[in-house]
Structure 1
Amino acid sequence: MINPGFFSVIGVGIGAILLYAVLGVILMLLGFYAVDLTTPGKLNVMVREGLPNAVVITAAGMVSMALIVVTAIYTSSGFLTEGLIQTAVFGVIGILAQVGAVRLVEWVMGIDIGAVLAADRVVPQSFLISAAHLALGLVVAFAII
């Protein structure tokens, strides 16, 4: 026999999943556009054209942003509205911190990100920038905890 209230718990859970999924997509898109705005050229065009460094760096950036968003969701409070607000705030701040930190690493290392992204073959600097995205995404994610 199913306990009374079971279906309301399921309904609330489904609603929470959908709301967090929508918020996650919004934050991921915001993160992508934050990276796009801080790099020369149109990143989405470079990715569509299959420029290998643009694809590798964008993929690393998306994974690192997902780490930030997932951590923000995981650490949010048990109340849905508060959790969504907390996730949005920590997600936005985390994404901005991560993007700014990656740009700083590129500057300190003297990497011309525009040239790296526009190259038609894989260049070693793309691995460093990708690693910086992932590492800084982890740092920001743990800072949220």
Structure 2
Amino acid sequence: MLEDLIRNAYSAAAYGATGMVLMLLSFAVIDGLTPGNLRHLLWADRNRNAGILVGSNAFAVAIIVTAAIVASEGRLFEGLTYTVVYTIIGVVIMTVTFFIIDLFTPGKLGELVVHPESHPAVWMHGVVHVGIAMIVAASIL
């Protein structure tokens, strides 16, 4: 029992740390896609649009990480590899989608994200991030 607890705690810590790093990577990608300083927009300006996009992206990454854990069926190295590879695929697809949506819609999506007034396009894009994550997660399972 104690051996299982130690092994499970080690796995939980490894997945948790990996998921955290991948969420930070995802945050950095969003920060690069949007004008201005995303941390400042969130914490100092309390920008709702930025919060929606960052929150949906973090949720999307969590969905992919969770699917990778389930798909690994207890094989830690395989699960961590799945986690990293599939999350990077998801973030790349989300980034490409950001550019495609920006290309085919009026205005600039990055500017909408930093605008102080709430905009429905940011909500829509947040849902797209979660949808992409669900597709990637289903491909793992």
TM-score of the aligned structures, taking structure 1 as reference length: 0.84
Change in 2 beyond 3 A, CA 1:111/1:73:
farther
Task: Give the percent of matched residue pairs that are identical in Structure 1 and Structure 2.
Answer: 25
2:79 equivalent in structure 1: 83
Aligned residues: 140
Question: Which protein is bigger by CA-based radius of gyration?
Answer: 1
Which runs of structure 1 show a deviation greater than 6 angstroms over 4 or more consecutive aligned residues? none
Per-residue CA distance 1:54-99 (angstroms, 9 max, x = gap): 1122111111121112112221253222222222222222222222
1:68 aligns with 2:83: no
2:37 equivalent in structure 1: 42
TM-score of the aligned structures, taking structure 2 as reference length: 0.86
Among 84, 88, 93, which residue is 1:97 paired with? 93
1:11 equivalent in structure 2: 6
Unpaired stretches in structure 2, ≥5 consecutive residues? none
Per-residue CA distance 1:19-75 (angstroms, 9 max, x = gap): 111111111111111222222222222111211211122111111121112112221
Mean alpha-carbon deviation: is it higher for 22-31 or for 74-83? 74-83
1:3 equivalent in structure 2: none
Among 119, 135, 138, which residue is 2:131 paired with? 135
For the aligned residue pairs, the C-alpha RMSD in angstroms reads: 1.8
Change in 2 beyond 3 A, CA 1:133/1:37:
same
Mean alpha-carbon deviation: is it higher for 28-37 or for 76-85? 76-85
What letter matches 1:96 in structure 2?
A: V
- Partners of 1:111 and 1:125 within 8 A in 2: no
